[in-house]
Amino acid sequence: MNSIDDVQTALAEQDYVCGRALATVVFLALRLGRPLFLEGEAGTGKTEIAKAIAATLGRRLIRLQCYEGLDASSAVYEWNFAAQMVAIRAAEAGGQTPPDLFSDDFLIERPLLDAMRPDPAGAPVLLIDELDRTDEPFEAFLLEALSDFQVTIPEMGTISAPEPPIVILTSNRTREVHDALKRRCLYHWVDYPAFDREIEILNARAPEASEALSREVVAFVQRLRTEDLFKRPGVAETIDWAKCLLALDVLNLSPDVIADTLGAVLKYQDDIQKLQGSEAKRLLDEVRADLAEDG
Ligand SMILES: Nc1ncnc2c1ncn2[C@@H]1O[C@H](COP(=O)(O)OP(=O)(O)OP(=O)(O)O)[C@@H](O)[C@H]1O
Ligand SMILES: [Mg+2]
């Protein structure tokens, strides 16, 4: 991919709608070999873009899903103790000397080590997803791993990546990620898309939806995002909702339809409650008026 336009076109072929600003950081991350740090609300396409980039480049996607308590051993490698025990017992029973217990046969590769292995297709895409769920010690560890792309296994020696992986980190910003880690990366805030772009995304992901239904769904979800909600709906919810409506053969929104299908859009009872009674109708009327105004 030789230009920002190339990035946009290639991602569009994967049904990923990428704005100019995001395409620019993706282009630069690939060109400069820098990790890309994507922060933003839930369901705005952060994970999906890593998949789309890997598919576009024909690279393997390796995903390290972060969670509270994730430590270096679960991220890099572990020894298969059970298999080692079996090998020892089998050797003892047969009166033989046990095999080398610290060889590839007993090594369980976790995503970071996997991402450093040579790959004929080229360096893989390493997605470090939802980094904000881990803790600071793990971040410090990652910082080191991302700076030299090598892993030392005391029993085996140092393994280094022949070509550094393409690294994409994501965060929902439930906490701030440390500056030192961010400094290594190119940063982009993934916001909710504007109306036209969200229509484009819906056209790519739910092409069966009519233009009229798409416009209503997107406008309504966009309107919901301006409400005081516990959890605002992401693009994922827009797509889900449209698919639910299609499955129900709905051609246009109505207060009843909204009430019946709101669970596709809002995932907290408190939020759903806010749209009870005449509230859904009020919002829908507003949305319709805006749509009529914009032609
Ligand atoms: N720009 C986009 N182009 C195409 N599809 C998109 C886009 N943004 C979001 N989507 C769709 O929304 C869904 C959710 O996106 P994704 O899982 O990447 O969100 P996320 O930002 O990783 O959310 P979370 O923070 O909850 O993990 C995807 O399956 C994809 O279909
Ligand atoms: Mg995600």
The confidence score (pLDDT) of residue 175 equals 92
Minimum CA distance residue for ligand 1 atom 6 = 45
Predicted TM-score (pTM) above 0.85: yes
Q: What is the pLDDT of residue 145?
A: 87
CB of residue 44 inside a 6 A radius of ligand 1? yes
Q: Do 274 and 227 contact (CB within 8 A), yes or no? A: yes
Looking at residue 147, its pLDDT comes to 86
C-alpha span between 171 and 47 (Å, rounded):
10
Q: How high is the pLDDT of residue 38?
A: 98
To the nearest 10°, report the CA torsion of 218, 220, 224, 227.
Answer: 130
Query: What's the per-residue H, E or C state across the chain?
Result: CCCHHHHHHHHHHCCCCCCHHHHHHHHHHHHHCCCEEEEECCCCCHHHHHHHHHHHHCCCEEEEECCCCCCHHHHCEEECHHHHHHHHHHHHHCCCCCCCCCCHHHEEECHHHHCCCCCCCCCCEEEEECHHHCCHHHHHHHHHHHHHCEEEECCCEEEECCCCCEEEEEECCCCCCCHHHHHHCEEEEECCCCHHHHHHHHHHHCCCCCHHHHHHHHHHHHHHHCCCCCCCCCHHHHHHHHHHHHHCCCCCCCHHHHHHHHHHCCCCHHHHHHCCCCHHHHHHHHHHHHHHHCC
Establish whether residue 166 lines the binding site of ligand 1, counting it when its CB lies within 6 angstroms of any ligand atom: no
* Interval between CA 150 and ligand 2 midpoint (Å): 26
The rounded Å distance from CA 181 to ligand 2 centre is: 19
Q: Which ligand is nearest to the CA of 42?
A: 1
Q: Is the CB of 47 under 6 A from ligand 1?
A: yes
CA 218 distance to own-chain centroid: 21
Measured by CA distance, the residue closest to atom 23 of ligand 1 is 43
The response to whether residue 145 sits with its C-beta less than 6 Å from ligand 1 reads no
One-letter amino acid identity for 19? G
Distance between CA atoms of residues 274 and 121, nearest Å: 51
Sign, Cα dihedral of 102, 106, 110, 115:
positive
Q: How far is the CA of 46 from the centre of ligand 2 (A)?
A: 6
Dihedral of the CA atoms 95, 100, 103, 105 (nearest 10)? -10
What residue ranges do the domains of the chain occupy?
Answer: 4-68+115-190, 195-283
Mutate to test the pocket of ligand 1, among 214, 235, 241, 265 (most ligand atoms within 8 A of CB): 235
Per-residue pLDDT of the chain (295 residues; tens, 9 = 90+): 899 999 999 999 999 999 999 999 999 999 999 999 999 999 999 999 999 999 999 999 999 999 999 998 899 999 999 999 999 999 999 999 989 999 999 999 999 999 999 999 999 999 999 999 999 999 998 988 888 888 889 999 999 999 999 999 999 999 999 999 999 999 999 999 999 999 999 999 999 999 999 999 999 999 999 999 999 999 999 999 999 999 999 999 999 999 999 999 999 999 999 988 899 999 999 999 999 998 6
Decide: 134 in ligand 1 pocket, CB within 6 A.
no
Ligand nearest to the CA of 242: 1
CATH topology of domain 4-68+115-190: Rossmann fold (3.40.50)
**What ligand is nearest to the CA atom of residue 15?**
1
| Ligand 1 proximity of 236 Cβ (cutoff 6 Å) | yes
Atom of ligand 1 nearest to the CA of 46: 21
